[in-house]
Structure 1
Amino acid sequence: MSDEPVETAEKDDARHAEKMAKKKAARDKIMAKKTDEKGLIIVHTGKGKGKSSAAFGMIFRHIAHGKPSAVVQFIKGAMWTGERDLIEKHFSDICQFHTMGEGFTWETQDRARDVAAAGAAWEKAKELIRDERNSMVLLDEINIALRYDYLDINEVVEFLKTEKPTMTHVVLTGRNAKDELIEVADLVTEMELIKHPFRSGIKGQPGVEF
């Protein structure tokens, strides 16, 4: 019986190990230069699902690290969500949660009311961001309020540039993030829609959508 297959496998393993060792050395060299820290402006946008879910993942990381954080929901109103229920029941001492919206604009059908709700949410957001005890502040669905001009994008950007504490992270979610916000952000992720069950007649379900 020939030992060639065994020898070939051993050679493949050795080549792989050598390749990975080179990659690790290059990666370690890069990471050694990354020593700075700062509070980030983080934008989750795009038509795909997962913008708020990813943002709440970071909020739960902050909670796990014992870092105070806060959430302001700009659009979602009376609708129950698992994240809000979990945080308010078990982590309210370390994460403030403010649901300031009254639903999507097609639900209220009252622009003045939507503008007022967005304005109140933005005032609360500024208060929470200015409070340096908060390591992260999530502005959930603020991009929708900005898209419909319920808020002035220039005011939001100027505040983030000039008043956000140096080490505070601010996460902004929602479709159609404006160019001005993308420009000032440190990290921008666009969720791409490939398939969605809604198109097949499947409604939003607990544990997946909310």
Structure 2
Amino acid sequence: MTEETPQDLERHAMKMAKKKAARDKIMATKTDKKGLIIVHTGKGKGKSSAAFGMIFRCIAHDMQCAVVQFIKGGMSTGERDLILAKFTDTCAFHTMGEGFTWETQDKSRDTEMAQAAWEKAKELIRDPANTMVLLDEINIAIRYDYVDIKDVVEFLATEKPDLTHVVLTGRNAHDDLIEIADLVTEMELVKHPFRAGIKAQIGVEF
């Protein structure tokens, strides 16, 4: 590694000072607060994990929040177990699904459960006490027409309180949902251990 001269250090300091001044100028214009519609989608791992990260931030700040799981009801997860054991006073947790659609193989039952989950989600979102509501795997329910995308979009556009954040996860997010969202992240799959014959593991996937 080349040793830096005093001139190098001075140039670096001046460069960082200019960056800070430009950043401060931009940040000074960002004064509005808004409840965001946040979508995590894509084929890559980490959609629900990132969403639960935000839920745990809310919990850490003692901000009321809620989770509705649309699909993963058939399996225990670390996030659910921890919230139910330690944080039910701050985070309402509702597991409404009965597992993945290929496990139930019963579309009418899946639709019934997804509709119940959506009704619970609307109830929680309407409650202004909730700073954030996570709708885990709702994109899958929408994709299979268990939940009507038009109803979801209309509800979020007209009934969501102004300061409430709503996070929606799952692959194949509908274009109409992406259109109204404030923040959309697509998780891109580059490599996954499942393709090498490694099954889902505690602490990584659930």
- The TM tier, using the shorter chain, reads over 0.9
Q: Partners of 2:22 and 2:177 in 1: how far apart?
A: 33
Q: Partners of 1:104 and 1:117 in 2: how far apart?
A: 12
TM-score if structure 1 supplies the norm length?
A: 0.96
Q: Partners of 2:184 and 2:177 in 1: how far apart?
A: 10
- 1:61 pairs, out of 33, 52, 57, with 57
Shift of 1:14: 1.5
Structure 2: which 5+ residue stretches go unaligned?
A: none
Structure 1 partner of 2:155: 159
Structure 1 partner of 2:28: 32
- 2:142 pairs, out of 129, 132, 146, with 146
Asked if the contact 2:126/2:159 (under 8 Å) is kept, the reply is yes
- 1:104 pairs, out of 100, 115, 135, with 100
Tell me the SS of whatever aligns to 1:139.
Answer: strand
Asked if the contact 2:74/2:100 (under 8 Å) is kept, the reply is no
Indicate whether 1:90 and 2:82 are aligned.
Answer: no
Cα-Cα RMSD: 1.0
Indicate whether 1:203 and 2:199 are aligned.
Answer: yes
TM-score if structure 2 supplies the norm length?
A: 0.98
Indicate whether 1:184 and 2:180 are aligned.
Answer: yes
Which stretches of structure 1, 4 residues or more, deviate above 6 A after TM superposition? Answer: none
Indicate the structure (1 or 2) with the bigger Cα radius of gyration.
Answer: 1
Seq. identity, %? 77
Amino acid at match of 2:68: V
Shift of 1:78: 2.5
Structure 1: which 5+ residue stretches go unaligned?
A: none
Tell me the SS of whatever aligns to 1:77.
Answer: helix
